[in-house]
A and B are shown apart, each in its own frame.
Chain A
Amino acid sequence: MRFLKRAVPAIVAPAALAGCSNIQSAFAPMGVEAERTNVLFWVMTAGGTLIFIAVLIAASVSIFGGERARKLLAREWFVTAAGIWFPVVVLSTLLVYGFIALGAGAAPERAQNGLKISVEGELWWWRVTYERPDGTVVETANELHLPVGEPVQVALTSTNVIHSFWAPRIAGKLDMIPGRTNTLTLTATEEGVSRGQCAEYCGGAHALMSFFVIAQSPEEFEAWLAAEARPAEEPEGEAETRGRDLFFAAGCGACHTVRGTAAEGTIGPDLTHVGARRSLAAATLPNDAEAFADWIVDNQHIKPENKMPAYDIFSDEDVSDLARYLEGLN
Chain B
Amino acid sequence: MSTTEEKKLPNSGPRPEHELEDLKRVWATPKGIRLVTAVNNTVIGTLYIGVAFLFFVLAGVLALVMRMQLAVGDNTLVSQDLYNQLFTVHGTTMMFLFAVPAVEALGVMLLPQMLAARDLPFPRLSAFAIWAYVIGGLVFFSTIFYDLAPKGGWFMYPPNTLTEFSPGDNADFWLLGIGFIEISAIAGAIEIVVGVLRTRPPGMTLAKMPIFAWAMLIFAAMIIFAFPAVILATMLLEIERAFGWPFFSAELGGDSLLWQHLFWFFGHPEVYIIFLPAAGLVSMIVPTMAQTPLVGYRLIVVALIATGFFSFGLWVHHMFTTGIPGLSLAFFSAASMAVAIPSGIQVFSWIATIAAGRKRFRITVPSLFVLGFLFIFTLGGLTGVMVAIVPFDFQAHDSYFIVAHFHYVLIGGMVFPLFATFYYWAPMVSKKMLSERLGKWAFWLMFIGFNVTFFPMHITGLAGMPRRVWTYPSNLGWDVLNMISTAGAFVIAAGVLVFIIDLIRNFRFGEGGAENPWGAGTLEFLPNDVYSTRSIPHVTSREPLWDNPDLPREVEAGLHYLPNAPTGGRETIVTSAVEAKPQYVLQMPGAGWTPFLAAAFTAGGFLLLTIKEVGLGIASGTLAILLCLLWTWQLDKPSQGEVDIGGGYKLPTYMTGPNSHSWWAMVVLMLVASALYISYFFSYLYLWTVSPDVWAPNGSPAPPSLVFPVGSAAMFAGGSALMAWLGKRLPEPNVRTPGVPAGLVIAALLLGGGVALEILGHMQTGLDPTASSYGAMVYMAPILTGQAAFAAIVMCLFAGARHLRGGMDKQRRVTFDNAALLYYYTAAQGVFGLVLIHGFPRLIG
Contact = CB atoms under 8 A, between A and B. Distances in A.
A102 B160 contact: no
A164 B395 contact: no
Interface in A62-114: 62-65, 69-76, 78-80, 82-84, 86-88, 91, 94-95, 98-99, 101-102, 105-106
Contacts of B391: 33, 36-37, 40, 98, 101-102, 105, 172
Most B CB contacts (10 A, CB to CB) among A78, A199, A204 go to: A199
Given A91-B337, A102-B390, A22 B397 contact: no
A4 interface: no
A76 B296 contact: yes
Contacts of A206: 84, 468-469
A21 B213 CA distance: 52
A266 interface: no
Given A21-B477, A182-B323, A203-B152, A63 B360 contact: yes
B299 A79 contact: yes
B398 A200 contact: yes
B46 interface: no
B466 A174 contact: no
Given A201-B467, A207-B470, A168 B395 contact: yes
B464 A168 contact: yes
Interface stretch (B193-201, B350-358, B573-581): B350-358
A40 B391 CA distance: 8
Interface residue tally on A, bucketed by range: 35 or more
A22 B389 contact: no
Given A76-B296, A95-B337, A174-B394, A25 B464 contact: yes
Interface residues of A, dominant DSSP: helix
Interface in B183-210: none
Most B CB contacts (10 A, CB to CB) among A33, A71, A180, A207 go to: A207
Nearest to A198: B466
Interface stretch (A10-18, A211-219, A240-248, A254-262): A10-18
B345 interface: yes
Nearest to B378: A55
B523 to A, nearest CB: 25
Interface string B376-393: 001100110110011111
Nearest to A25: B463
B813 interface: no
A84 B302 CA distance: 12
Contacts of A74: 295, 352-353, 355-356
A180 B690 CA distance: 10
Contacts of B165: 160-161, 203
Contacts of A200: 157, 398
A59 B334 contact: no
A132 to B, nearest CB: 26
Contact of B354 (A40, A59, A166, A199): A59
A183 B326 CA distance: 13
Contacts of B460: 18
A318 to B, nearest CB: 28
A175 to B, nearest CB: 5
A304 B81 contact: yes
Contact of A79 (B251, B326, B334, B352): B352
Contact of B157 (A56, A162, A182): A162
B54 interface: no
A157 to B, nearest CB: 10
B472 interface: yes
Interface string A132-167: 000000000000000000000000000011101010
B459 A91 contact: no
B466 A94 contact: no
Contacts of A166: 398-399, 466
A205 B471 CA distance: 10
A161 B481 contact: no
Contacts of B761: none
A169 to B, nearest CB: 8
Interface in B435-460: 456, 459-460
Most A CB contacts (10 A, CB to CB) among B303, B323, B347 go to: B323
B80 to A, nearest CB: 5
Interface stretch (A44-52, A221-229, A267-275): A44-52
A9 interface: no
B265 to A, nearest CB: 18
A33 B466 CA distance: 19
Nearest to B361: A63
Contacts of B346: 83
Contacts of A72: 355
B351 A162 contact: no
B171 to A, nearest CB: 11
Interface string B63-98: 000000000000000011100100000000000000
A33 B392 CA distance: 10
B159 A173 contact: no
Contacts of A25: 462-464, 477
Contacts of A26: 395, 462-464
Contact of B80 (A40, A175, A204): A204
Nearest to A55: B378
A223 B828 CA distance: 69
Interface in B779-825: none
A106 B152 CA distance: 32
Nearest to A45: B386
Nearest to B346: A83
A86 B349 CA distance: 14
Given A25-B464, A73-B352, A83-B344, A94 B385 contact: yes
B682 interface: no
Contacts of B363: 63
B476 A27 contact: no
Contacts of B593: none
Nearest to A91: B337
A300 B159 CA distance: 23
Contacts of B79: 304
B348 A18 contact: no
Contacts of A65: 355
Contacts of A314: none
A170 B247 CA distance: 35
Contact of B323 (A21, A91, A171, A175): A175
B333 interface: yes
Contacts of A73: 351-352, 355-356
A61 B256 CA distance: 51
B347 A55 contact: yes
Nearest to A40: B392
B212 to A, nearest CB: 19
Contacts of B462: 25-27, 41, 168
A197 B323 CA distance: 18
Contacts of B477: 17-22, 25
A98 B468 CA distance: 28
A84 B341 contact: yes
A31 to B, nearest CB: 11
A174 B323 contact: yes
A195 interface: yes
Given A26-B463, A173-B394, 12 more contacts: A14-B459, A19-B477, A26-B395, A72-B355, A80-B299, A86-B344, A87-B344, A91-B340, A99-B390, A172-B394, A183-B323, A201-B398
Interface of B: 79-81, 84, 151-153, 157, 159-160, 165-166, 249-251, 255-257, 295-296, 299, 303, 321-323, 326, 329-330, 333-334, 337-338, 340-341, 344-349, 351-356, 360-361, 363, 371, 374-375, 378-379, 382-383, 385-386, 389-395, 397-399, 456, 459-460, 462-472, 475-478, 480-481, 690
7 A-B pairs closest in CB distance: A172-B394, A179-B250, A24-B464, A207-B469, A74-B356, A182-B323, A62-B355
25 contacts: A14-B481, A18-B460, A27-B462, A33-B391, A34-B395, A41-B392, A44-B386, A44-B392, A45-B386, A52-B379, A63-B371, A71-B355, A74-B356, A79-B345, A101-B389, A101-B391, A161-B159, A166-B398, A168-B395, A178-B249, A201-B160, A203-B151, A204-B81, A204-B84, A206-B84
